Copies of this chain bind each other. A is one copy, B any other.
Amino acid sequence: MSVSLLEQLIEALRVLPGVGQKSAQRMAYHLLERERSGGKRLGQALAEAMEGIGHCGQCRDFTEGEICATCASGSRDRQLLCAVESPADRLAIEQATGYRGVYFVLQGRLSPLDGIGPHELGLDQLGQRLAQGEVSELIIATNPTVEGEATAHYLAQLARQHGVRPSRLAHGVPLGGELEYVDRGTLSHAFGSRLDM
């Protein structure tokens, strides 16, 4: 017996992160019962996005053109370059901070065991950019994980080689957090890096 369109749809929905069989069923029924036009729009948007979205030639972020809107903008400060692991990290920084510089999206982190080295992260491209002399500070905003820290270390070296000042995000107790519930590593780090006031 051939697989019905409904079964195909449920199976296809499972490609979404965090969506299992039950959620996929619920989504399929919801769309069929109440959101046919929204479902069609989503199908169209998916087809266009998967086909049309590539990487920015300058910062490797997702974009449908040659260069993304941030890199193409005339109002960003090109002396500041912020390296992030993923487009989602870039978006988080863009939304939370008033940062007016530009970005470089690694699309991953150094992970030799998975075959992800400097080349896969576009670090040769980043090196060329730093060599041009326009960038004065490289803000390293990789995640505070083991691999993220290794990547940060590598990036800092690369920056120094080209005479660019490397900097990194401050670590410490999160705002609004209670000391009692902050993990040991963070608390120990925050205690060691205490500031005069």
Q: Is A42 an interface residue (CB 8 A)?
A: yes
How many copies altogether? 2
Given contacts A15-B39, A26-B17, contact A5 B88 (CB under 8 A): no
Q: In the complex, how many angstroms separate the beta carbon of A190 from the nearest chain B beta carbon?
A: 27
Instruction: Count residues on chain A whose CB falls below 8 Å from chain B CBs.
Output: 50
Task: Please tell me if A129 contacts chain B, counting CB pairs below 8 Å.
Answer: no
Give Cα A47–Cα B50 distance, bound, in whole angstroms.
15
Of all chain B residues, the one with the shortest Cβ separation from A28 is: B49
- The A interface is mostly helix, strand or loop, or mixed, namely helix
| CB atoms of B33 and A15 under 8 A apart | no
> Contact between A4 and B45 (Cβ–Cβ < 8 Å)?
no
A173 within 8 A of B: no
Q: Which of B33, B39, B87 interacts with A49 by CB under 8 Å? A: B39
Given A30-B16, A86-B29, A43 and B38 contact (CB-CB distance below 8 Å):
no
Q: When the two chains form their complex, are residues B62 and A6 in contact, meaning their CB atoms are under 8 A apart?
A: yes
